[in-house]
Amino acid sequence: MFSIDSLKELVGEQGYNYFAVVDTPEVIDDFIYKRPVVAIAAKYPIVEVAAVEHDSELASMLGLNSEFTFSRKVLRATVTLPHIGNTDCYVVHFKSKRPMINVDEHNKELTPEKNIIEILKANVAGGWGSTIQRGSEATLLMIQMITRREATQQPMLLMGDFNNELADGVLSHLLTKTLRFAPAFDAKTYLAKYCLNDSWDLFVKSQLSNGELLSDEIITNDVQIDCNSNNSEIVDSTDKSQEKNTKITNPAPLRAPTHYYGASSSVLDYILLSCEFDASYDDSFFEVSDYSTYDRHLINPEYERDDLTTDHGVVLITLKLRS
């Protein structure tokens, strides 16, 4: 986000009367900005706001230099939510995959081959540098979240642009489910309390437990699935005489991408939740009853309406109080 006051006014008109930032973008010239910042808007009171500070001693142990900082300041806002009380909401924009090393791509002093070699080396080394930064940000943030959780016992919520798929090993530790060398009983008892869950996984699990999805779906025919952000359409491409061989009942939904790059797509934006929002956890308050990705501005853009919109899909979840 670049224009803080404009966004605050815009979301205020939609009923989000509580708004917070912990940094300001850099102004290049008048209304031209760079280095965007993160923000949070809420309909419920924000009672505390802070920029997360990483553990510098731990960073040093990880081999990071003393100048390490988050590429964008991480915002922590404590929001007083109905039924559950004060909840720590973290907003992030982790380091992008853009290589950290820049080269002149049109260096006329080099031969074409030498120029390509220099670009290749910059991409390999610079891309890995960005990966180290992104993974380190996630790690140091997670440590601070666990420390905060231990001190306050408040529910946690982490959301934003992760610039990476969670399944990738770079960020997979955000969803730690097992511990090596720890007593099995103790680990099972306490891990759920201090770890996070992908809201998509909680949504699918909730649908399964409510009988709205089949966990043992069987598809024996060649089935094409056409999925957008809101629905799935099943098209049987086999001979109708073979329909009896296909069993499809309430197929599991497909997760919509949140980012497109050329012909490829990926999920880079997430909402992670602590156990208070996991219906399978005995002491939870809420369950994820709906999950969707708003992507009309990406799939079917109209210039007059979408010329200033984000280049990412917007992840939306609905939390329902458990009965």
Q: Two tokens at 197?
A: 């869950």
Q: Two tokens at 277?
A: 């929002």
The pTM score is 0.84
d(CA 139, CA 54): 10
Residue reference for tokens 């080099």: 110
Q: ∠211-212-213 over CA atoms, to 5°?
A: 95
d(CA 254, CA 228): 8
Q: Exposed, middle or buried: residue 101 (CB in 10 Å: 0-12, 13-18, 19+)?
A: middle
Query: Which residues lie below 8 Å from residue 170, measured CB to CB, with a gap of 6+?
Result: 131, 134, 135, 138, 164
pLDDT, one tens digit per residue, over 271-289 is 999 999 999 998 899 999 9
CA proximity to 23, closest of 37, 10, 35, 11: 37
Tell how strand 39-42 and strand 197-198 pair up: unpaired
DSSP state of 177: -
pLDDT, one tens digit per residue, over 19-75 is 999 999 888 777 777 788 999 999 999 999 999 999 999 999 999 999 999 999 999
Residue reference for tokens 């939740």: 273
**Amino acid of residue 202:** L
**Could you tell me the pLDDT band of residue 295, with boundaries at 50, 70 and 90?**
confident
Query: Which residues lie below 8 Å from residue 137, measured CB to CB, with a gap of 6+?
Result: 70, 71, 74, 92, 94, 95
The whole-number pLDDT of residue 154 equals: 97
pLDDT, one tens digit per residue, over 162-189 is 999 998 889 999 998 888 878 877 887 7
What's the alpha-carbon Rg for the chain, to the nearest Å?
A: 23
Q: Two tokens at 125?
A: 């080394």
Question: Facing residues of 247 across strands?
Answer: 218
pLDDT, one tens digit per residue, over 191-210 is 889 999 999 999 999 888 77
State the average pLDDT over residues 230-234: 39
Please answer whether residues 21 and 46 qualify as being in contact, where contact means their C-beta atoms are separated by less than 8 angstroms. no
**Could you tell me the pLDDT band of residue 224, with boundaries at 50, 70 and 90?**
very low
**Amino acid of residue 185:** F
State the average pLDDT over residues 311-321: 94
